[in-house]
């Protein structure tokens, strides 16, 4: 976070805006079916943020460089140098040859959401509380669970086929969990681009996991 020390009005306004937004009953519409947690989508809080910022004379501007994402919040009623900036390293998903426009759009959406959550102190406790404790790697086998996704044709359907192949050869619930954890970036990306296919895959995870649990009873 950065800003101009000689102009503090933006900090006061931002804190007032935070307080008002925190009193608003925001609903988390995003659902991760497999990991069983809810999270904020941009649409869950941006209308409220826009309204509150307008009331308090604040303006948020998102920008990107090759390696950093920025959210700069300006005091619209003050001098041009009355602002505060929130930043995050710009980490791109490492997926082979995904269409550039889709990849860029999903990346920008993710960091826009992340930066506003940071600036407004909107904490997603569900994500933290639902996370399973990290387990030791299973004798170096995790690399075997990396999806091999073809770049030809429909990428979402290719992810589904690759996932089904791995699920068909896994031998335990731990294997199923590792498939999801190792490829989580891919699944998060798929959710933003093709939610219908993403939900199909998450359902397949649940069904396969249920089959193993049923066998173990």
With contact defined as beta carbons under 8 Å apart, do 10 and 82 qualify?
yes
pLDDT band for position 81 (cuts 50, 70, 90) = confident
pLDDT band for position 73 (cuts 50, 70, 90) = very high
The SS3 assignment for 204 reads helix
Average of pLDDT values for 167-194? Answer: 86
Higher pLDDT, 69 or 144: 69
Task: Please give the distance of CA 75 from its chain centroid, rounded to a whole number.
Answer: 28
What is the chain's mean pLDDT, rounded?
Answer: 78
Answering whether pTM is above 0.75, one says: no
| Burial class, 103, CB count within 10 angstroms (exposed 0-12 / middle 13-18 / buried 19+) | middle
Largest Cα separation within the chain, whole Å, is 68
DSSP state of 148: -
- CB atoms near residue 42 (< 10 Å): 15
Evaluate if residue 155 carries a pLDDT over 60.
Answer: yes
pLDDT band for position 216 (cuts 50, 70, 90) = very low
Higher pLDDT, 196 or 150: 196
pLDDT band for position 33 (cuts 50, 70, 90) = low
User: Hey, what are 139's tokens?
Assistant: 């004798």
Kindly list the distances between the CA atom of residue 88 and the CA atoms of 2, 65, 69, 126, 156, in Å, as whole numbers in the listed order. Answer: 12, 11, 5, 22, 28
Per-residue confidence (pLDDT) for residue 124, from 0 to 100: 67
| Phi, psi values for residue 108, rounded to 5° | -65, -40
Evaluate if residue 131 carries a pLDDT over 70.
Answer: no
What is the CA angle 67-145-203, rounded to 5?
A: 95
Q: Which domains does the chain have, with CATH numbers?
A: 2-130 (3.30.390), 142-216 (no CATH)
Return the minimum-mean-pLDDT range out of 21-25, 78-82, 115-119, 176-180. Answer: 78-82
With contact defined as beta carbons under 8 Å apart, do 82 and 58 qualify?
no
Per-residue confidence (pLDDT) for residue 32, from 0 to 100: 64
Per-residue confidence (pLDDT) for residue 170, from 0 to 100: 76
**pLDDT tens, residue by residue, 95-105:** 444 445 555 67
Kindly give the pairing relationship between strand 83-89 and strand 68-75.
antiparallel
Residues in the chain: 217
What is the CA angle 41-42-48, rounded to 5?
A: 115
**pLDDT tens, residue by residue, 133-154:** 443 333 334 456 788 777 677 8
């Amino acid at each position: 976070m950065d800003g101009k020390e000689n102009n503090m009005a933006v900090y006061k306004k931002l804190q007032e805006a935070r307080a008002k937004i925190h009193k608003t009953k925001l609903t988390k519409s995003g659902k991760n079916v497999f990991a069983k947690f809810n999270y904020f989508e941009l649409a869950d809080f941006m209308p409220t943020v826009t309204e509150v910022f307008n009331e308090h004379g604040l303006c948020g501007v998102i920008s990107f460089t090759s390696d950093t994402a920025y959210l700069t919040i300006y005091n619209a009623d003050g001098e041009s140098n009355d602002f505060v900036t929130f930043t995050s390293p710009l980490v791109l998903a490492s997926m082979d040859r995904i269409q550039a426009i889709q990849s860029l759009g999903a990346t920008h959406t993710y960091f826009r959401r992340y930066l506003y959550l940071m600036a407004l102190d909107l904490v997603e406790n569900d994500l933290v509380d639902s996370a399973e404790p990290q387990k030791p790697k299973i004798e170096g086998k995790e690399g075997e669970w990396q999806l091999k996704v073809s770049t030809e044709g429909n990428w979402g359907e290719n992810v589904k086929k690759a996932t089904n192949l791995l699920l068909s050869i896994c031998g335990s619930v731990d294997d199923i969990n590792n498939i999801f954890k190792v490829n989580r970036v891919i699944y998060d990306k798929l959710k933003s681009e093709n939610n219908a296919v993403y939900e199909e895959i998450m359902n397949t995870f649940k069904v396969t996991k249920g089959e193993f649990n049923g066998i173990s009873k």
